[in-house]
Structures are given as C-alpha cells and as structure tokens.
A and B are shown apart, each in its own frame.
Chain A
C-alpha cells in the first residue's frame, strides 16, 4: 500500500513539475508492478493535472508549465490506456472543440484541449477559423458527446449563435451538448443563444463538460 502511495505521490509530483520523462517512467514502473492502470490514472495523473489547473488558476503556474504538464500526462496515460483490458481506451466521453469561423485565436482553446485530454476525454480539435457546417459535419462523423466552441472577438461570437440555430434547424440539437467560451462570451450570452453551458476558463470548462456528460 505504501509502495502504491509513494508511486502515486511521485506521479503527482512529476505532473506538477512538467517532467515528461519521469511521468512516462513512472507509468512504466506502475505497469511492471502490476498496479491497476485506471487507479494510477485517476489517483495519480488526474490528481496531478487538477493541481496544475488550480495552480494555473491562482497564477502560480503559467502557460508553458501547463502545457509541459499536459504533455507529460498525455504520454504517460497513453501508455497506461494501452494496458487497460483489451487496449480499450478509458475515455470519459467525446468532445469536439473548435474556434469559430473568422476567429484565429486558439491559445485558450489549446489549454482546454490539453486539460480535457489529460482528464481522460477523447478530444477532436478542429483548430481555428472553422465554419459552422464543418463543425457539425465533423461532430456527426466523430460521434461527439459535446461540441465546444471558442470565440475571442465580439464580431465572431455570433458564430456560436449560428451553430445553435443550425443544430436546431437540422434537428440535431438534442444529440449534442454544447459549451461556449472565450473572452467576450458570458453566461448570459450562453443562455441567450441556447448553449448548454458556459465556461469562464479552462478548468471550469473541464468541470462543466464532466457535468454535461454525466447529466448532473
């Protein structure tokens, strides 16, 4: 038990330190010691990335460190996921994410993607400047549970409204949960356009998506 706890503690430290090599080595060590991969993910890597998210939120860790930590988690969890029975992925759900058409900003979205992947979601990142119809077509193809869109400009946030309207028009609204974010976007905007959720920052985005998928 102590051995397991020690390893989990080291896993958390490796994630907070953004130490990719250590995070990967610890994943291998856990597999060699026949530890439950899901336990290592949930009690080690996910705990670590949540702490990184909290430190980022408090302004004690910054974007480069956040990305390093997310990369460390991604590589290690890939290893552990492949060891889970039959190699099946332990995805918490499928999230399609995009910056809307006309908007080329994607740093914030990249943070959300990193945190979602690190938290065990299967994420399809369509990048930036993505037309509404492309978002819907890819969501259908990917069989997404959640569609997340980001807009950094008041002139492009109307595309989030267009997405909601198009989903309703095509009879697809009930098929997906939608979440919106971006600097000019507010909870009132989300309510106004009919989005299912609004997230002010990356950490909140992950929590809201977990709630959307669990239906709570």
Chain B
C-alpha cells in the first residue's frame, strides 16, 4: 500500500490503482472546470510514479531544476520570533535557503497599510539591496476588503449582496478599485525607486473579480511608468470569484477565469511573471489534488508567453492545508510541477 495524505494533511493508505484513479479524477475535474486539455496517459503514469515512490523526499532529475522563489520572506522568519532585521533575513534566504529571488515584505502585507510607511520600507529595500545579489522583490497583497467598511471608506459588498442590493454592492466594489489602484501604484513606485528590482502582487483576486481588475490596472500603470520593472502577479486561487460579476479588463469578463485565461490578461497588463495558484481541496486525497493542480498549471504554461511560477505551499499546488507543509507532499508536488507541468519556477 502507498502511504499518502488527504488534503487536510492526515495520512491515508491507498493501492496504486486507487492512486491512479484519484489522479485521473483530479485531471478530469480540471478539464471539466477549465475546459482545458487533459494530461496524457504517460504524464498520468508519471504522476502515479511520483506519488508511489517509497522515498519520503522526491526530487527532479538533474537538469530539471526550477527557479525557486519565496513570497513574503521577511514575515516567515519574523514569525519564528528570531530577532533579526530584514536585510539579514534576506541574506538567509539567499545564502542558506538557495532562493533565486528575494521578497521583502511588511508584517501587514497589504498595500493600504504600507502606504503610511513607505519611507521606512524604502530604507529597508535600499539597505537590503546593498547586501544581497539576487533580484529583490517587494511584496504585498492588493487586499481590496481593506477599502470597505469598517476598515475603509467604501460600503461593504459582503453586507450589501446578501441584502439583495446588487447595484450598490457593485458600485462599492468599483469605488474600492480606484483606491486600491492608487495605493498599489504609490507603494510600487516608492519601493522601485528605492532600489527594489520589482514588485509582487501576492494573493491577487482573493476578494474576487474587482480585486483582479485593480491589480491589472495597477500593473498597467506601473509598467507604463517603469518599463524595466519586474512585476509578478500571483493569484489567490485557480478561479476568479465573481463578487461583482460584470467587470472586464481588455474586453474580457474577469469573473470565472482560470489560470490559462488569467495569465493572458496579466501579460496584457505588462506583468513579467505570473504566479499560478490552484487551491487544495482538503476533503480530497493528495493524488486527486496533484492531478488537478498539474493539469491547470500545465495549461497555463502552454498559454503563457511570460514565465509561470506555480505556488506550491500551504493549501495550494496540491500541498495539504496544514501550518507546516509536509515535505513528502511538497517535494512530490514540486517535482510534478517541474517535470509534468513544465513550470518556469516555484
């Protein structure tokens, strides 16, 4: 029997046939939802092989290594209670964790609170860029709900929608988009001018289509302002939720887009890297989630003209939804993303 896990991290045992059946079901779910091509029989067999290898840690063949990046790097070490500053944390990522890019981030990790402390963040960016050599990103979340009551000036769509006030809910989200774009452009400009190589819009569209639109518009403005700036748009999930439902970018309705469609708009807006995300279903097995995540990501890579980095971490990219992602699943998902999904980075 093969020891694997459920999406909630608990151990289960499956036969090889059951592993294969679950991978096929995961692939089928992605195909049905995204209207994309399935993995080939050989690719599915390779995923089965990855899942069934007895080793705790699985890796790629030499030559198939990927760019390895970490988001919100400074927050993760800070959370451990280690009292060191941002530049030193970035040095640890660069020199101990083998990160190919670095990401500096403020603890609130949202553009709105960061706009108040841009000079402090500029100092951290400048200081870090003097002691590291890897490309330095500054990352934060668009976090549209911070612009709605009680945290912001706009009416709260989450209260208006259940009350049946559809037009008001849509207007409130459109108003929030305007505030969010201004903050993202302001912060992005500030950190870039202080020496960051780029900006990472992390967990984009967590609040749905309006947040995706705000991010695309901010990306477009930053690209026009800084032609050489690296801009990564990392998503929150494989599907753009339609909290507004009618918003468009470049004539395309944003609600309901899957990764292979999202990446085309990110390209149009001027992004340099796209962060594909496929959420883990905690009620399904790791093989099911793996088949599904790799199918979505592979379709995204095939559609993309810019590099695609898959999110492979807690609750995304087939990794179980637990606080400390288990290495058996992280290493298998990473291997599958590299060798079957043909991603450019993780």
Contact = CB atoms under 8 A, between A and B. Distances in A.
A and B held together in a complex: yes
B158 A107 contact: yes
17 contacts: A59-B33, A59-B255, A60-B256, A63-B243, A63-B245, A64-B244, A64-B246, A65-B242, A65-B245, A67-B162, A67-B164, A68-B164, A106-B162, A107-B161, A107-B162, A188-B6, A200-B283
B162 A58 contact: no
A64 B170 contact: yes
Contacts of A184: 282, 321
Contact of B166 (A58, A61, A67, A187): A67
B6 A62 contact: no
A101 interface: no
- The interface centre, meaning the residue of B10, B162, B209 with most chain A CB atoms within 10 A of its CB, is B162
Interface string A112-144: 000000000000000000000000000000000
B222 interface: no
B6 A59 contact: no
Interface string B227-244: 000000000000101111
A14 B134 CA distance: 57
Interface of B: 6, 8, 10, 33, 158, 161-162, 164, 166, 169-170, 209, 239, 241-246, 255-256, 282-283, 321
Contacts of B239: 59
Interface of A: 58-65, 67-68, 71, 106-107, 110, 184, 186-188, 200
A64 B241 CA distance: 11
B8 A59 contact: no
Contact of A64 (B8, B158, B161): B161
A62 B244 CA distance: 8
A184 to B, nearest CB: 7
Given A59-B33, A62-B255, A64-B170, A186 B8 contact: yes
Contact of A63 (B10, B241, B282): B241
B243 A62 contact: yes
A186 B161 contact: no
A112 to B, nearest CB: 11
Contacts of B158: 106-107
Contacts of A59: 33, 239, 242, 255-256
Top 3 nearest A-B pairs (CB, nearest first) are A62-B242, A110-B162, A62-B245
Given A59-B33, A62-B255, A106-B162, 18 more contacts: A58-B33, A59-B242, A62-B243, A62-B256, A63-B161, A63-B245, A64-B161, A64-B166, A64-B170, A64-B242, A68-B166, A107-B158, A107-B162, A110-B162, A186-B6, A186-B8, A186-B283, A188-B6
Nearest to A62: B242
A63 B241 CA distance: 8
Contact of A187 (B170, B246, B283): B283
- The interface centre, meaning the residue of A62, A63, A64, A67 with most chain B CB atoms within 10 A of its CB, is A64
A78 B223 CA distance: 54
A184 B280 CA distance: 11
B330 to A, nearest CB: 20
Contact of B169 (A61, A64, A71, A186): A64
A110 B161 contact: yes
Nearest to B240: A59
A60 B241 CA distance: 10
Given A62-B255, A64-B170, A186 B282 contact: yes
Nearest to B165: A67
A161 B132 CA distance: 49
- The interface centre, meaning the residue of A63, A65, A71, A106 with most chain B CB atoms within 10 A of its CB, is A63
Contact of A188 (B10, B162, B243): B10
A63 B8 contact: no
Contacts of B245: 62-65
A31 B164 CA distance: 26
A106 B159 CA distance: 9
Contacts of A106: 158, 162
A16 to B, nearest CB: 14
A191 to B, nearest CB: 11
A59 to B, nearest CB: 4
A63 B242 contact: yes
A110 B157 CA distance: 13
A133 to B, nearest CB: 25
Contacts of A61: 242
B294 to A, nearest CB: 20
Contacts of B256: 59-60, 62
A168 to B, nearest CB: 25
Contacts of B321: 184
A200 B281 CA distance: 10
B119 to A, nearest CB: 34
A59 B240 CA distance: 9
